[in-house]
Structure 1
């Protein structure tokens, strides 16, 4: 069965989309409510505001044959201090506060924090398992794939979570939301924990679009973790 799935995927890739040079995808967000045993009205209200903010966030993936960037779409209206604080918490817990820049020809990819710090992280195999399940996402036939992601917190502790992706073989690029890549087609929907990124707009260009990477001093993830821990103590 898996062999048949791979044959179908290869056939899907041999279409007009193989001539595309670059494009972009807009993702909106779905997220579950935050589970809490707290009964304090202020805490419940904060949880509600965090979830509502996350659901209003949107992101853009821009890509060409070799590079991609995944960034948050900033709102035109200047948020108040309270709104900015809620958005920062929502990004940290439910979506992402970071921007991601991938170059398939490089040994590392680049992560930019909301403070502007540049972190270089090595590419690691995500060991995707492609399943026979399929569905339509934004008019594209997508197949389901799953992988395990290792999360390392600021204390260096590891935790495994399962990630579900729906990718479109007819769009033969290897990119997706955040640092998720490596499937034989663009990821149009990604479920990570309580949050789902789903494509609402897919567009393409015949000409190659240059993907701008931020410039500046970069540090490793370990160096960043140590600097954050040093500020806390």
Structure 2
């Protein structure tokens, strides 16, 4: 009980200290690094050599490791990926990954709006939906991220976007003999990723806005770190009340769809690609060895 009281006292102290930052035109900018890990064995890579896996992971680095900025005020924010120049000789390998990368994401915690500009295989979409509440469980653990004291919060949320676990390797390799269809069907269902994700977030009441990176928000302080599934998002730098303010504008271009509709569109496209490349591998598997 004594330890809990000390935590509450610390929380109140940093909250009131942070509240002095606020003015009518308050704005801040947070810089984040995002890193996602991938097990190639789950995507048909069991027979690949270690060297081949290393080459593939290098090619996918720009897709799995990204940098973002979150520009925010008391009610709005815009989350953008920082553009990078491609390394010489990359040969456009980013093309596939860029089709799965979200554009600027706008959040308004007062009106509960979420709007994202998204290009997918050459077509522009405007994903527009309600900003969903996250049922956070507040913890008492603390740690320092840079100069900021952060508190832990956890939640279980629904998985959104493409379920990559559903696209593990060509079907021809996943299925066994025709007589084992029932067993394969059961295993296929079991192999799919769960529909929910456990999230651990770290927020600082020293910056008392309920904003955060990507879809994350709703805590009594800016979220500086998120660990969700295979992805970690970590804040590396914060600038408060910059001399030059940036406009936080809602994305406007593209065919308007909900998040559920956009997920259905992208999943269908990925399934088509899975069938197409699976068929090619089945017909030309021996050709690659000559």
Query: Which of 195, 201, 211 is 1:175 aligned to?
Result: 211
- In the alignment, which of 72, 93, 102 is matched to residue 83 of structure 1? 93
**Correspondence for 1:138 among 130, 135, 146:** 146
Q: Does 1:165 align with 2:201?
A: yes
1:106 counterpart (111, 118, 123): 111
Distance between the aligned counterparts of 2:118 and 2:146, measured in 1?
30
Measured after TM superposition, the shift of residue 176 of structure 1 is 0.9
Q: For 2:195, what is the secondary structure of its paired residue? A: strand
How many pairs align?
Answer: 227
Matches within 5 A, 1:17-166: 18-20=20-22, 21-34=26-39, 36=41, 38-41=46-49, 44-45=53-54, 47-49=56-58, 52-54=61-63, 56-77=65-86, 80-85=90-95, 87-88=97-98, 92=100, 97-115=102-120, 116-152=124-160, 159-166=195-202
Structure 1 length as normaliser, TM-score? 0.81
Write the deviation string for residues 105-142 of structure 1: whole angstroms up to 9, x where unpaired: 32431122244411112122211111111110021100
**Greater share of residues in helix:** 2
- SS of the aligned residue for 2:93 comes to helix
Change beyond 3 A, Cα 1:98–1:210: closer
Displacement after TM superposition at 1:147 (Å): 0.6
Looking at structure 2, the residues matched to 193 and 3 of structure 1 have their Cα atoms a distance apart, in angstroms, of 32
How far apart are the structure 2 equivalents of 1:153 and 1:199?
23
State the shift of 1:179 in Å. Answer: 0.8
Aligned CA RMSD, in angstroms, stands at: 3.1
Name stretches of at least 5 consecutive residues in structure 2 with no aligned partner. 164-191, 273-290
- In terms of fraction of residues, the more strand-rich structure is 1
Q: Distance in 2 between matches of 1:189 and 1:230?
A: 32
Name the larger-Rg structure: 2
Moved more, 120-129 or 104-113: 104-113
Q: Which runs of 5+ in 1 are unaligned?
A: none
1:219 aligns with 2:257: yes
- TM-score w.r.t. structure 2 length? 0.67
Partner of 1:111, secondary structure, is: strand
- Looking at structure 1, the residues matched to 94 and 48 of structure 2 have their Cα atoms a distance apart, in angstroms, of 22
Match of 1:199 among 220, 227, 235: 235
- 1:15 deviates by 1.5
